């Protein structure tokens, strides 16, 4: 099952094969985390009252909130998904979103209600059956076809429908499109990761309480990595470091060549670095290379790390990148993703508490 366009599929193939060997090495802080076990994520207090004010009248959502512990982390959310699957996809999704939105609910319950009802004005609306079917199908695709296909299913739309709300959403039955109104990549990848982790206890920091799988479905691929603007910005920062390192190396090679007495531009030639104006030229070059004012060039290696959240081919490249970084350490893309977010959020449990 592939819903993305031919151009997207071509980009994905290129990213996963031809460009795979060109990925820059991971930055030193990430390399340090890749070589050691990851402590569990810190737990936060669930703002249940805020969630119940919006979702309390939906029996499945109310049950999900009642079943959640008072304090949770990502592993608790995965355990909740496992407990509700496949009897209530709605309860499983709500459990995942409670973790995804974190300790400050804000507008989160209202946004989740819009997703579940496929409506811009969800108050008084009933749950949309197509939404729950698409949520369930997306997890099945992630486990049997891979995370990128699941991303494409929820992200790409190949038919002509004005929106994915209410009556328009109902028109999508039978169409190979899982796009859900109000649910973008930043949060549907959190759903995919938490739900696929429910099938993969070996990828979780805490052991599963029981051995029963949510369904008879046997995972053929590792859990899906999360993907949002936080990691895109982090990768862009790494890309700038890659650019600067490469430019400095090239500049050093150029200066060495120019200053060599055996080169046509040796110290006694008209192109000598001691000629008038040469120091000013070098200062301008250094300013450009170091990301100073004005135009800042990039490199092909750095550009591989520059991505956009809404593009399926970029998510495919992201998964390939993380798999490449984690391979030497026996880690899958989701496990590398966890370590990147640990660097970004610094939300790990202190080692003393883990012990």
Q: What is the pLDDT of residue 318?
A: 98
Q: Does some domain include residue 19?
A: no
Same domain, 179 and 281: no
Q: What is the pLDDT of residue 88?
A: 95
Which DSSP state fits 323? H
What whole-number distance in Å separates Cα of residue 148 and Cα of residue 18? 18
CB-based burial, 339-350: b 16+ in 10 Å, e otherwise: bbbbeeeebbee
What whole-number distance in Å separates Cα of residue 72 and Cα of residue 61? 17
Q: What is the pLDDT of residue 218?
A: 79
Q: Does some domain include residue 224?
A: no
Same domain, 197 and 151: yes
In the chain, how many domains are there?
2
Same domain, 317 and 178: no
Residues 293 and 287 sit within 8 Å (Cβ to Cβ): yes
Q: What is the pLDDT of residue 96?
A: 98
Same domain, 77 and 188: yes
Same domain, 46 and 192: yes
Which DSSP state fits 162? S
Nearest in space to 154 (alpha carbons), one of 238, 214, 84, 93: 93
Q: Does some domain include residue 269?
A: yes
Q: What is the pLDDT of residue 297?
A: 82
Same domain, 169 and 261: no
Q: Does some domain include residue 93?
A: yes
> CA separation (Å) from 120 to 7, 115, 226?
32, 9, 25
Residues 23 and 324 sit within 8 Å (Cβ to Cβ): yes
Burial of 66 (0-12, 13-18, 19+ CB in 10 A): exposed
Residues in the chain: 355
The whole-model pTM stands at 0.79
Same domain, 144 and 282: no
Same domain, 245 and 325: yes
Nearest in space to 106 (alpha carbons), one of 186, 44, 51, 181: 51
Q: Does some domain include residue 248?
A: yes
Residues 316 and 203 sit within 8 Å (Cβ to Cβ): no
> CA separation (Å) from 247 to 160, 238, 301, 328?
46, 14, 11, 27
pLDDT along the chain (355 residues), means of 10: 44 41 90 94 96 94 96 96 94 98 94 94 90 95 96 81 53 65 95 94 48 61 96 96 89 57 44 42 44 66 95 97 97 97 88 42
Same domain, 97 and 233: no
Q: Indicate the residue among 165, 186, 203 that finishes a domain.
A: 203
Q: Indicate the residue among 134, 169, 203 that finishes a domain.
A: 203
Q: Does some domain include residue 211?
A: no
Same domain, 191 and 64: yes
Q: Is the dihedral of CA 276, 278, 279, 280 positive or negative?
A: positive
Q: Does some domain include residue 54?
A: yes
Q: Indicate the residue among 187, 203, 219 that finishes a domain.
A: 203
Same domain, 192 and 312: no
Its domain, for residue 293, covers 229-354
Same domain, 196 and 332: no
């Amino acid at each position: 099952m592939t819903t993305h366009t031919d151009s997207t599929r071509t980009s994905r193939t290129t990213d996963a094969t031809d460009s795979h060997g060109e990925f820059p090495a991971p930055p030193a802080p990430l390399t340090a985390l890749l070589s050691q076990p990851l402590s569990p994520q810190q737990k936060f207090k669930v703002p249940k009252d805020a969630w119940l004010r919006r979702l309390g009248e939906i029996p499945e959502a109310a049950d999900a909130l009642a079943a959640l512990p008072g304090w949770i982390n990502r592993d608790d959310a995965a355990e909740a998904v496992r407990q509700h699957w496949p009897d209530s996809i709605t309860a499983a999704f709500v459990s995942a979103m409670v973790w995804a939105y974190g300790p400050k609910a804000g507008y989160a319950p209202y946004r989740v209600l819009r997703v579940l009802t496929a409506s811009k004005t969800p108050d008084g609306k009933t749950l949309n059956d197509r939404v729950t079917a698409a949520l369930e199908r997306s997890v099945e695709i992630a486990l049997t076809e891979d995370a990128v296909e699941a991303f494409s299913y929820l992200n790409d739309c190949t038919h002509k429908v004005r929106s994915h709300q209410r009556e328009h959403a109902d028109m999508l039955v039978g169409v190979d499109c899982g796009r859900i109104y109000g649910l973008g990549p930043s949060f549907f990848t959190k759903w995919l990761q938490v739900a696929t982790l429910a099938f993969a206890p070996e990828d979780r920091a805490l052991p599963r309480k029981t051995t029963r799988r949510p369904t008879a479905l046997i995972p053929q691929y590792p859990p899906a990595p999360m993907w949002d603007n936080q990691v895109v910005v982090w990768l862009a920062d790494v890309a700038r470091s890659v650019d600067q390192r490469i430019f400095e190396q090239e500049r050093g090679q150029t200066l060495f060549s120019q200053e060599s007495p055996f080169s046509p531009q040796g110290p006694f030639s008209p192109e000598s670095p001691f000629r008038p104006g040469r120091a000013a030229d070098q200062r301008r070059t250094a300013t450009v290379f170091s990301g100073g004012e004005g135009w800042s060039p990039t490199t092909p290696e750095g550009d591989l790390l520059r991505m956009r959240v809404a593009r399926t081919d970029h998510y495919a490249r992201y998964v390939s990148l993380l798999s490449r970084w984690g391979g030497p350490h026996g880690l899958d893309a989701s496990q590398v993703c966890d370590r990147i977010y640990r660097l970004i959020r610094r939300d790990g449990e202190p080692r003393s508490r883990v012990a």
